[in-house]
Structure 1
Amino acid sequence: MAAAFARRQTRALEPRCARPRRKSCKGTAFMSHHIPSAGAAPEPLDYAYTHERTQATTGYFACVPPASLSFEAALERLEATPWDDFLHLHLLRLLGEKSPEDLHALAARCTDPATEGCPRPALAALLRECALLLPGLEGLEAALPPTARDAALEATPAVYLRAAAQPDFAAAAAWSALFRANICEHHPLPRWGETDLPPLFAEERLRAVLADMEAQTGELRRLHARLAADSGPAWRRPPAQETFLRAQDALMEAGLVEGREMRHEASLAPIALLRDWRVDVSVRNGAVRHNLRGTARAYGRGLSLAAARASCAMEIVERASAYVSVEEGGAAAGRIADRKAELPLVRARLSELRAQGREALDPNALPLEAPYTDFPLHWLPARDPAGATVLVPAQAVFLFCNLDEPALFLAGGSTGLASGNTLEEAKVAALTEIAERDAEATTPYRRTRCFCLRSRDPRLQALLEDYAACGVRVQFQDLTTELGLPVYQCFVLGPEGTVVRATGANLCGPRAALAALTETPWPYSPLRSAPPRPSGPGLAGLPVRDLEDLPDLSLPSPAAALRLLEETLTAQGRRPLYVELTRADLGLPVVRALAPGLALTAEWERFSRPGPRLFARYLAAAD
């Protein structure tokens, strides 16, 4: 059971330790615990960034405290620093290894018979979460008296209890299971109106959403036609080898890479590489004080060795820029260390920021499992396309972000995090990744949108034919949404009916399809270093599309492409925001982009909440 509490690390998703929150629906009552003064702050705790297992290309990591830290000592520290994500999740893992009898015995410690109060609210929170998350523990919640159950909501950093407290939680979980089976496993959805599940949205609202999406369709093409006529001079992208050498030199100089570059054959990419890199960050933020050290792993894929090397090195640059140290001093809530540009933190409620006349992003504009109710958060400055400052939640920007605050996300991932040769190129990559994840999360699987691929390029056609010679049936689904950006999903059906898939997005449709192809985690060895692993037969009778005939809306420079994407998103009410994360020691551009109103992940969990655009497309399929 402890494995259920490991954190995922993928290209798209790197969850923050999960957290629940408060009973009160008013932020004024939330986060009322005492934050120790600087003199009373605990000594920093050393966490090891530990790889637990890998499934396909998904790595599961845990932040593990020293082995010398006993369960009782860890619990005592958590009672004093209840928002420490890493410690909270560590204790959940330990509790997951205990017997139901042991857990019920611990529940008895959550009540003081003399006062009828709860002396161990953090323990009560952990036990409530165990009852919610682990099978066979349904009676554990009832073992906690009402005072302990209420206190638990004030003493957990995780999203779980908050999400489960939503009145439509059970219905949302059931819908999530249906959509997961459809999107991830290609099971058919029931016909509209034929399920007994209560609707999450009124049909009238969904038809209004459909009308909005139809009105927005074509906006990117219209803007492209205008910008293509006056897009400025063409930009010469540096060769992949040049990008690799620049990134590699910076990483070596900073002491970030570890071990040797290695090749792997876990994807359809003809060249796929991996390399380890060093995680070493420290956080001094209120009562949460820790160091995190260990080894992470980056992957690179491509049609050539140079492209795969550039991909791998720039992924390390990207990730190393998003694992951050937080220093005390500077602004009242500290600052992010070692940045090219100053990144101060501000701790406040959204209402307080707005009362001060400061523009800030409402977290409820992001896909949350439970609504934000104006509790204090840490904020940092982002910029909109015009350069105006907008404060955004820090935890929506960084990876493995463990600050002294409750969580907004069950799984705060890496969608919208990108590096580039230039800042404009990084922003374009960030926005296209957001569009990619959004399309994957809001488009039901439909056989009518699937196709097979061929190419007029002899080299690419030879690759497609080699997959077939290995018995691997490669197929695609068009996921392009009203945003207009070409998005394709490549999928392989396993012999047992499993679906292995990956998605790609790009203004150039052929590049989007090739990105999806090379990301697909089906084993392939062009050198035949291992026997081929045949797939299942796939779908029969699909149309065949030429790669070169897919839509191409590219423009001659990253600056022009960025303008196209920004104007399209802004016209649709989704003004993008950027936080530049470029490290002082690397000097290679990295940004985190946020696009309010768009989905961030298609990794369906029990706590996921399907959005109205997904339901609207489901409804449209029934018309």
Structure 2
Amino acid sequence: MSATMHYTYTLTGTEATTGYFSCEPPRGLSFAGGLAWLEEHPADDFMHLWLLRRLATFEQKKIRTMITRECAGRPVLEALLYELCLLTPRFAALRERFAPGAPTRLSACTPLPYIKWSLQPDSGLHARWTELFRANMHDHRMLPHPDDEELPPLFDLGSVSALWLPRNTVPVADLRQQVADRPRDTGWRRPPAQETAMLALERLVEHDVIGGVEMRHVASLSPIALLRQWRLDTGIQAGRNNHTLCGLATTYGRGLSLADARVSYAMEMVERASSYASVSVQDGVLQVTGRACRTPVTVARLSELRARGIEAVDPADFPLEAPYQDEPLHWMEGRSPRPDGEVTVLVPVQMVFLFCNLDEVSLYTAPGSTGLASGNIPEEAKVAALTEIIERDAEATMPYSWQRCFTLTTEDPALKMLLDDYAARGVHLQFQDITTDFGVPCYKAFVTGRDGTVTRATGAGLDGRRAIVSCLTETPYPYPDSPPSAPAPSHIPVRRLEELPDMSMGNVHDNLALLEAMFTANGRTPVYVDITRDDLGFPVVRALVPGMELTADFTPFTRINPRLYRRYLDMFR
């Protein structure tokens, strides 16, 4: 077997313009060959997940035989089989064939957090509440009254830390004057969309990132929607892991004009092309390669970094599905704004990059892209990153309630024409105000199909008008070939676009200062990691904000956020 494993980045499915990918080893690799590789490289997530997918196709009799006869002295295989029984309902009964105490022992024999998740005494309770909240927030089913629900309470809210359940939130509106008194405006203004798109596409073509032609699509409510493929090519040579990852991915652009849609996909391509890392030893130092700034990587436990007086992000301050147990991780430098200037803070590399398959435990079952953003200048990228974190947190912690829903009207000619055209085609677009206690405008746009299926998207921003247009264009309901939808309830109010709140400061530098002030006032000072490539030139950052939710997927392994649970209880008070 080659000393390097070559994986292909493979599209496995698309749902609502979101692609789902797997990393596939070379064709022809047998299960036995893959298992042999994994036993030599036990923290290779890509191979681990591929073997789990292969095992899921086996007959139950074969799995039973493997559990009873083939696991002796092979902890990697035994952990795989136990995970299979956790993840696959048709094998669930086979968990009883593992020895008592096996899950605790096997949790240290896999890089994935599934077994550690199952060992938490309340994991089953969270899974049952997750089903209720998913039905409410994805499918708009009504939540049961707390007195009627047979499930035990999730939390003693009085004992939850302030990071996860703030007692007194400082809203963004309370800080606007403070920022206005210390303006940071440099006079920079965003260039025209067509100018940014042209420059980005020129650089992407020059460096062989673009992998296909620009195409139209009609899978969203955006009047103009484009897509284009790009090439992914990375490699990891660090610790025991040694592999490459190559393939094609797709970025999407949407907007009310062709220029807006084109700059949307071009800058998303810059962002995504920057968010996959190659890591190897260069000049005697382990580092992320191909970056505009030198990016060394340190391997250590969090406790070791703290013992050396090094400030580092604590993974426990982020929404993990299973607890971080001070295992060794790969760390890179980030920067965090403080009253006396920025300070260096180490951040786990896997919390920064996508599909980051390093020789270490995985903190997430499915790390996402929340907090990744590109921009013309670093400040613009940071504002976009923080705004996305606010959006995703709101989406994950605000229950669906028709009392917060409305339809939209406007005097803007272009948008009014679009809304009228939806109505003429029988598409009844609704919105929910999901603005949280932080006060940054957040909205969910949705269309309910005649079969009850809810198609939705979210948007956030200091300017509520821009936020609501963003979620409108992102909504993955076909247009212009739109099937008629279910009507909107007649009792929900109509809101005017022009009356939506606008908290923006008028320029990107002051907008950034306002968002940073809001997070800091609420004990959530952000950390930024600069991941700008050395060839593309456009600034790209990953922002991390403690205590904020990163996904609203509500998988079987989700840990319910205390703020979501509190808001659920508040609905019935």
TM-score, length-scaled by structure 1: 0.89
Q: Specify the SS of the correspondent of 1:382.
A: strand
- Tell me the CA shift for residue 67 of structure 1: 1.4
5+ residue gaps, structure 2: none
What amino acid is the match of 2:332? L
Q: Specify the SS of the correspondent of 1:383.
A: strand
Separation in 1, partners of 2:197, 2:361: 39
Query: 1:296 matched to which residue of 2?
Result: 249
Query: 1:587 matched to which residue of 2?
Result: 537
Query: 1:323 matched to which residue of 2?
Result: 276
What is the 5 A alignment of 1:393-432? 393-432=348-387
Query: 1:89 matched to which residue of 2?
Result: 49
Query: 1:131 matched to which residue of 2?
Result: 85
Query: 1:98 matched to which residue of 2?
Result: 58
Query: 1:358 matched to which residue of 2?
Result: 310
What amino acid is the match of 1:413? G
Query: 1:70 matched to which residue of 2?
Result: 30
Asked if 1:61 corresponds to 2:36, the answer is no
Separation in 1, partners of 2:161, 2:62: 52
Separation in 2, partners of 1:217, 1:447: 26
Separation in 2, partners of 1:504, 1:234: 27
What is the 5 A alignment of 1:325-404? 325-329=278-282, 334-385=286-337, 386-404=341-359
Task: Identify if the C-alpha distance between structure 1 residues 405 and 209 changes in structure 2 by more than 3 Å, giving closer, same or farther.
Answer: closer
Q: Specify the SS of the correspondent of 1:139.
A: helix
- Tell me the CA shift for residue 261 of structure 1: 0.2
Query: 1:33 matched to which residue of 2?
Result: none
What amino acid is the match of 2:515? L
Task: Identify if the C-alpha distance between structure 1 residues 307 and 72 changes in structure 2 by more than 3 Å, giving closer, same or farther.
Answer: same
Aligned 8 A contact 1:283 1:327 in 2: yes
What amino acid is the match of 2:31? F
Write the deviation string for residues 439-467 of structure 1: whole angstroms up to 9, x where unpaired.
11111111111110011111111100001
Separation in 2, partners of 1:436, 1:149: 37
Q: Specify the SS of the correspondent of 2:13.
A: strand
Query: 1:185 matched to which residue of 2?
Result: 139
Write the deviation string for residues 347-393 of structure 1: whole angstroms up to 9, x where unpaired.
11110000000001110000000111111111111000132001111
Query: 1:35 matched to which residue of 2?
Result: none
- Tell me the CA shift for residue 618 of structure 1: 1.3
- Tell me the CA shift for residue 233 of structure 1: 5.5
- Tell me the CA shift for residue 235 of structure 1: 3.5
Separation in 1, partners of 2:416, 2:267: 28
- Tell me the CA shift for residue 283 of structure 1: 0.6
Aligned 8 A contact 1:44 1:291 in 2: yes
Task: Identify if the C-alpha distance between structure 1 residues 359 and 380 changes in structure 2 by more than 3 Å, giving closer, same or farther.
Answer: same
Say which of 556, 561, 566 aligns to 1:606: 556
**Identity over aligned residues, as a percent?**
51
Separation in 2, partners of 1:203, 1:420: 39
Separation in 2, partners of 1:135, 1:207: 35
Query: 2:3 matched to which residue of 1?
Result: 43
- Tell me the CA shift for residue 142 of structure 1: 2.3
Asked if 1:454 corresponds to 2:397, the answer is no
- Tell me the CA shift for residue 68 of structure 1: 2.6
What is the 5 A alignment of 1:102-181? 102-111=62-71, 118-146=72-100, 149=103, 151-181=105-135
- Tell me the CA shift for residue 317 of structure 1: 0.4
- Tell me the CA shift for residue 234 of structure 1: 4.7
Separation in 2, partners of 1:610, 1:320: 32
TM-score, length-scaled by structure 2: 0.96
Write the deviation string for residues 69-97 of structure 1: whole angstroms up to 9, x where unpaired.
21101101111111100000000111111
Task: Identify if the C-alpha distance between structure 1 residues 370 and 330 changes in structure 2 by more than 3 Å, giving closer, same or farther.
Answer: farther
Aligned 8 A contact 1:92 1:130 in 2: yes
Aligned 8 A contact 1:452 1:543 in 2: yes
Say which of 374, 388, 406 aligns to 1:433: 388
Query: 1:522 matched to which residue of 2?
Result: 477
What amino acid is the match of 1:92? L
Write the deviation string for residues 488-545 of structure 1: whole angstroms up to 9, x where unpaired.
11011011111111000111000000000000000002xxxx4x31111133321001
- Tell me the CA shift for residue 227 of structure 1: 2.5
5+ residue gaps, structure 1: 1-40, 112-117
Separation in 2, partners of 1:192, 1:141: 33
Task: Identify if the C-alpha distance between structure 1 residues 399 and 192 changes in structure 2 by more than 3 Å, giving closer, same or farther.
Answer: same
Asked if 1:466 corresponds to 2:421, the answer is yes
Separation in 2, partners of 1:207, 1:447: 30
Separation in 2, partners of 1:140, 1:402: 30
Query: 1:269 matched to which residue of 2?
Result: 222
